[in-house]
Chains A and B, each alone.
Chain A
Amino acid sequence: DAGVTQSPTHLIKTRGQQVTLRCSPKSGHDTVSWYQQALGQGPQFIFQYYEEEERQRGNFPDRFSGHQFPNYSSELNVNALLLGDSALYLCASSLARGGPGQPQHFGDGTRLSIL
């Protein structure tokens, strides 16, 4: 039973560029959330996708956007990269139809470095 998989594992970009990160949810899950984790901090919620729509968003600018596909996989796009966007980007999946309290399961993230 595959867990949450993310690609790539590491990425180096320069300021002003754009990046796309990818996530495949745990088998059977229908919901994907994205988090940003700066060095030494806890993960911060970016947004969540369910039924191919963004249904909640954290305090992140519009440069951060996402997409969910019919197979439940997801992409996170970041435009006009800033040095401060350097972080570990985590994807978490869960099952919305599984009833209340369903936990989110995380992948090991994409380490994004901005030069």
Chain B
Amino acid sequence: DAKTTQPTSMDCAEGRAANLPCNHSTISGNEYVYWYRQIHSQGPQYIIHGLKNNETNEMASLIITEDRKSSTLILPHATLRDTAVYYCIVKYSGAGSYQLTFGKGTKLSVIP
């Protein structure tokens, strides 16, 4: 699975959009991009995933560049409850690759 690079930490003002970047320059064509977040003392929460196209759900939007070498998770209106560590994970979709490999993630602090 391709390696990802994320900033260690970010701040965002409450009510503003939070844009979390992720670099995955060695991604291959059959690898998906997944985003999870982990709020203190809870398990990781699935947010969104995508392969090539941009995706949106009730939690967030995922923007993947055309060359697929980077992506951005967008929380449109950040609240204090969005303060968490956000993990960007790239994972092969085929047989034989079943684990999620977590890096250090980005600690997002939403500030009142």
- Are A and B part of the same complex? yes
Query: Number of contact residues on B: which range applies?
Result: 20 to 34
Q: Is the CB of B101 within 8 A of A103?
A: no
A42 to B101, CA, bound (A): 9
A57 nearest in chain B by CB position? B99
B49 nearest in chain A by CB position? A103
Which secondary structure characterizes the binding site on chain B?
loop
Q: Is the CB of B98 within 8 A of A33?
A: yes
Tell me, rounded to whole Å, the shortest Cβ–Cβ distance linking B88 to chain A: 11
Q: Is the CB of A48 within 8 A of B46?
A: no
For residue A107, which residues in chain B have a CB less than 8 angstroms away from its CB? 43
Q: Is the CB of A100 within 8 A of B34?
A: no
A56 to B44, CA, bound (A): 21
A90 to B46, CA, bound (A): 14
Q: Is the CB of B46 within 8 A of A101?
A: no
Q: Is the CB of B99 within 8 A of A103?
A: no
Tell me, rounded to whole Å, the shortest Cβ–Cβ distance linking A68 to chain B: 13
Interface residues, chain A, with chain B CB atoms under 8 Å away: 4, 31, 33, 35, 42-45, 48, 55-56, 58, 90, 92, 100-101, 103-109
